[in-house]
Copies of this chain bind each other. A is one copy, B any other.
Amino acid sequence: MRPVLSVRLFCDNEKSFGPGIAELLRRVREKGSLRAAAASMNMAYSKAWRIAHEMEQALGYPILVSTTGGKNGGGAILTDEGEALFSAYQAYVNALQADAERLFQEYFAQCPSSPFPRR
């Protein structure tokens, strides 16, 4: 029995930064390419591009930058701002998940598989 969080950061009730774009960025870092990152998530490149572009518009700063040349032709890497945002989000989510597990002990009795509230 365990708590699982989904953490979204909302910009003025519109766009939000959350698990989906964080996963996309994680894969861009790994693969050096937005196209390869999207493909590995079974996402159309056009959709990945739109998600990244709309997030940049909402944030007001670039999170990806194109790279040219190299073995696979053009690719993408995170900008310094994108890298810092990605890292801060990951650290934030990790801290919250640890809190969730700690607080779970406080609010619920431990049971083999089901949450019993503490009386």
Contacts and interface: CB of A to CB of B under 8 A. Distances in A.
Given A9-B1, A58-B114, A113-B11, A100 B107 contact: no
Interface residues of A, number: 41
B10 A2 contact: yes
Query: How many copies of this protein are present in the complex?
Result: 2
A11 to B, nearest CB: 5
A71 to B, nearest CB: 31
The secondary-structure label for the interface of chain A is mixed
Nearest to A99: B99
B85 A107 contact: no
Nearest to A85: B117
Contacts of A1: 9-12
B84 A117 contact: yes
Nearest to A103: B95
A11 B119 contact: no
Nearest to A86: B117
A60 interface: yes
A13 B59 CA distance: 35
Contact of A3 (B4, B9, B87): B9
